[in-house]
């Protein structure tokens, strides 16, 4: 077994690999860019080597620097994680040529399966179901249109070296095929240095289901059931689960055997994932093979009881797989939410900055797990991906797993940057998701105009008003007990209160529960009654306890005279006041916000990559105004209506903050 390994990655996956290495008694070496010098993976490692500036091309994508770091530290093996160089055949080959073990498949396996065009040819040779398409590189957008028409719309345009949703477009007509081809080529060239693109039939109402495979150097192969990754937004996975609510044992066996046949065909050694698109009739077609560890591997670990990183290390060290196909377990149900630094209420735009507060839910062995590469006070950088953490839960069945995830999301407290938690909390309550009746178009179909606060299901705002009133009353009860108050001047606390949430007033009566053994309040609101018991005290961000005997977990923080309350994806501001104060407030004139319609505002923090207009220029609706780059993705800002540019308020190459004016209009 290795004594020391180097992790050629950053963030959450680097931390994940380090933990398993330490569990196995192996020392771990971290590499980091200058931007990541204070990162969690650097702190967890036994040694750390700086390999260059923030830009990935000059650090995490530099093979020479990573190999030099191995030699410098005496690392015997390299784990590439996912992303960066993890599916780079040349990197695998060069590492092995230097006498360093690559904790992953051999370079020839990566070469054959990492190239989507070659992998499809190989799949056809070995009788693996494949989607109709044109599996040769395409010369230009016009040829792309002709091919698409021949296959029949809709089609999927994909970069051969693509992954992570980059270099991928779905086209429903000639115009979309023409434009989609150009976009795919540009994204692929930037992200992967390979601009080859191919086209295939897009399966309508598809499910994205993948099979986890393992192989060793002795010719042993197993598949570890399936993962359903159909809940996607713009081809980026949002929620993953294992097993799939759609797959029956016969389909699982057929898909697993085809996945193993493909792995065997390329002499695959390590953990890998064979991705399939599955139709409504359970017909399945090979998409691609990811020759690396997947982001969502923890859900497979929780239903099988295996540590995939440990198995990868053992296989790389020359050991045999410790189990046969008959010994693979399928125990219960697991789900994973990717908690990303993005604002779901602003079109999921990236949200960078400092993690002012970061308090994940308590981890419970075999039930709740948090994989992260950040810490409170750390920075979410604009240079890398937006992942804050992965929240993984396990239950005896799917219903219990969903409830576990709801509770865990309620207890996940993040401040300083926006996160995807409200959106995921809403999904966990969506009837269609809960029923298991969904496909990869679910998010686009259910939220065609984006995600808004009113899309979050919540049956009872009165409950949130009651919690806010209890918190406010706690502050008042403390103030009443302050010593040395003038005799006869002490405050008399009434029972009648009103809570304002949005434009809605919630009159209520609130009294402390008269019991020496219970801390809480009885709240009466019209025809509803809430008996809230909690040992919450000032400054705690989580208000936990019971309401009418049922467990509750509500995020709450005081902001001046109001409370910010969050529960099940709902985020609201609640102002608690006396009944008389509510009467007077209702008489106050409403403050009208300033008119910002004549400005183009930056919807996110990022780099102003391009200004496409000039002062005095007439612009038509839909024309490009500017391009902002954040977290490796380009975001094009377009004119919402015909207008004339008055002035450019920001310069190309400038770093923008959210809502910063870029252009003014006449």
Give the Cα separation of 604 and 343 in Å (integer). Answer: 9
User: Measured at the alpha carbon of residue 166, what is the angle toward residues 160 and 169, in degrees to the nearest 5?
Assistant: 80
279 bridge partner residues:
none
Alpha helices in 74-140 (DSSP H): 89-97, 107-114, 116-125
Contacts of 237 (CB under 8 A, 6+ apart): 208, 229, 231, 295, 296, 338
Give Cα 5 distance to the centre of its chain: 28
| Interaxial angle between packed helices 308-316 and 11-23, expressed in degrees from 0 to 180 and rounded to the nearest 10 | 70
Give the Cα separation of 437 and 282 in Å (integer). Answer: 13
User: Measured at the alpha carbon of residue 348, what is the angle toward residues 439 and 600, in degrees to the nearest 5?
Assistant: 135
> What number of other Cβ atoms are within 10 A of residue 492's Cβ?
5
With CA atoms as reference, report the closest residue to 36 among 45, 28, 27: 45
Give the Cα separation of 241 and 645 in Å (integer). Answer: 48
Give the Cα separation of 250 and 411 in Å (integer). Answer: 38
What one-character DSSP code corresponds to residue 325? G
Give the Cα separation of 554 and 471 in Å (integer). Answer: 11
Cα-trace Rg, the chain: 27
* Helix, strand, coil share of the chain (percent; to 5): 30, 35, 40
With CA atoms as reference, report the closest residue to 495 among 481, 482, 512: 512
From first CA to last CA, the distance across the chain in angstroms is: 69
User: Measured at the alpha carbon of residue 128, what is the angle toward residues 126 and 129, in degrees to the nearest 5?
Assistant: 145
Whether the bond between 154 and the residue before it is cis, its omega within 30 degrees of 0, is yes
Give the Cα separation of 394 and 409 in Å (integer). Answer: 14
Respond yes or no: is residue 97 known to be catalytic: no
Determine which one of 12, 76, 87, 288 is catalytic: 288
Q: What is each CA distance from 535 to 517, 559, 566, in whole angstroms?
A: 11, 21, 18
- For the four alpha carbons of 278, 283, 285 and 290, in that order, the dihedral sign comes to positive
Do 630 and 606 touch, CB atoms closer than 8 A? yes
Give the Cα separation of 660 and 445 in Å (integer). Answer: 32
151 φψ region: left (φ > 0), alpha (ψ -120 to 50), beta (else): alpha
What's the per-residue H, E or C state across 195-208?
A: CCEEEEECCCCCEE
Do 599 and 664 touch, CB atoms closer than 8 A? yes
- DSSP states of 339-363: EESEEGGGTTEE--EE-SEEEPPPP
Kind and range of the H or E element at 43?
helix 40-44
Q: What is each CA distance from 463 to 412, 509, 577, in whole angstroms?
A: 20, 13, 16
Contacts of 320 (CB under 8 A, 6+ apart): 216, 218, 220
For residue 291, the SS3 value is coil
Residues classed as catalytic? 288
């Amino acid at each position: 077994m290795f004594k020391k390994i180097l992790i050629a990655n950053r963030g959450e996956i680097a931390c994940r690999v380090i933990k398993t290495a330490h569990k196995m008694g192996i020392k771990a070496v971290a590499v980091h860019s200058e931007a990541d010098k204070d990162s969690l993976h650097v702190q967890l490692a036994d040694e750390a080597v700086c390999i260059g500036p923030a830009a990935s091309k000059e650090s995490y994508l530099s093979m020479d620097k990573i190999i030099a770091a191995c030699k410098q530290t005496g690392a015997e093996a390299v784990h590439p994680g996912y992303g960066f160089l993890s599916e780079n055949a040349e990197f695998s080959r060069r590492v092995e040529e230097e006498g360093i073990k690559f904790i992953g498949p051999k370079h020839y396996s990566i070469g054959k399966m990492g190239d989507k065009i070659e992998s499809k040819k190989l799949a056809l040779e070995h009788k693996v179901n494949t989607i109709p398409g044109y599996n040769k590189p395409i010369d230009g957008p016009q040829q792309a249109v002709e091919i698409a028409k021949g296959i029949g719309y809709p089609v999927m345009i994909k970069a051969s070296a693509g992954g992570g949703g980059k270099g991928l477009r779905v086209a429903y007509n000639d115009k979309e095929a023409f434009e989609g081809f150009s976009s795919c080529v540009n994204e692929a060239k930037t992200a992967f240095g390979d601009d080859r693109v191919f086209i295939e039939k897009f399966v309508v109402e598809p499910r994205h289901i993948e099979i986890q495979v393992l192989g060793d150097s002795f010719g042993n192969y197993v598949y570890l059931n399936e993962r359903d990754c159909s809940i996607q937004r713009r081809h980026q996975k949002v929620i993953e689960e294992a097993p799939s609510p759609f797959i029956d044992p016969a389909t699982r066996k057929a898909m697993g055997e085809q996945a193993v046949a493909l792995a065997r065909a390329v002499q695959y050694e390590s953990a890998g994932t064979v991705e399939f698109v599955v139709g409504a009739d359970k017909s399945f077609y090979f998409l691609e093979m990811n020759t690396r560890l997947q982001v969502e591997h923890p859900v497979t670990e929780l239903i099988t009881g295996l540590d995939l990183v440990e198995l990868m290390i053992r296989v790389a060290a020359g050991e045999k797989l410790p189990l046969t196909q008959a010994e693979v377990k399928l125990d219960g149900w697991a789900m994973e939410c990717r908690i990303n630094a993005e604002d779901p209420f602003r079109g999921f735009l990236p949200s960078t900055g400092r993690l002012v507060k970061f308090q994940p839910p308590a981890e419970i062995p075999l039930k709740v797990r948090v994989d992260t590469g950040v810490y409170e006070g750390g920075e979410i950088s604009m240079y890398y991906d937006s992942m804050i953490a992965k929240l993984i839960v396990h239950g005896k069945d799917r219903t219990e797993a969903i409830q576990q995830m709801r509770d865990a999301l309620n207890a996940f407290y993040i401040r300083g940057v926006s996160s995807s938690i409200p959106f995921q909390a809403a999904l966990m309550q969506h009837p269609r998701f809960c029923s298991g009746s969904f496909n990869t178009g679910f998010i686009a179909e259910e939220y065609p105009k984006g995600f808004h606060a009113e899309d979050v299901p919540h049956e009872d705002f009165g409950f949130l008003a009651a919690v806010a009133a209890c918190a406010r009353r706690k502050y008042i009860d403390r103030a009443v007990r302050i010593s040395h108050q003038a005799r006869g001047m002490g405050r008399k606390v009434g029972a009648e209160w009103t809570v304002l949430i949005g434009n809605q007033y919630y009159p209520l009566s609130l009294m402390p529960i008269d019991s020496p053994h219970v801390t809480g309040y009885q709240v009466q609101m019209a025809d509803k009654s809430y008996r809230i018991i909690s040992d919450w005290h000032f400054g705690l961000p989580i208000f936990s306890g019971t309401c009418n005997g049922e467990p509750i977990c509500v995020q709450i923080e005081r902001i001046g005279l109001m409370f910010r309350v969050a529960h099940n994806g709902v985020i609201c501001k609640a102002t608690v006041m006396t009944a008389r104060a509510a009467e007077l407030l209702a008489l106050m004139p409403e403050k009208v916000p300033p008119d910002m319609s004549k400005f183009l505002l930056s919807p996110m923090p990022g780099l102003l990559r391009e200004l496409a207009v000039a002062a005095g220029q007439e612009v038509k609706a839909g024309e490009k105004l500017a391009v902002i780059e954040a977290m490796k993705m380009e975001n094009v800002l377009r004119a919402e209506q015909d207008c004339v540019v008055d002035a450019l308020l920001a310069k190309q190459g400038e770093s923008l903050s959210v809502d910063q004016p870029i252009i003014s209009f006449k």
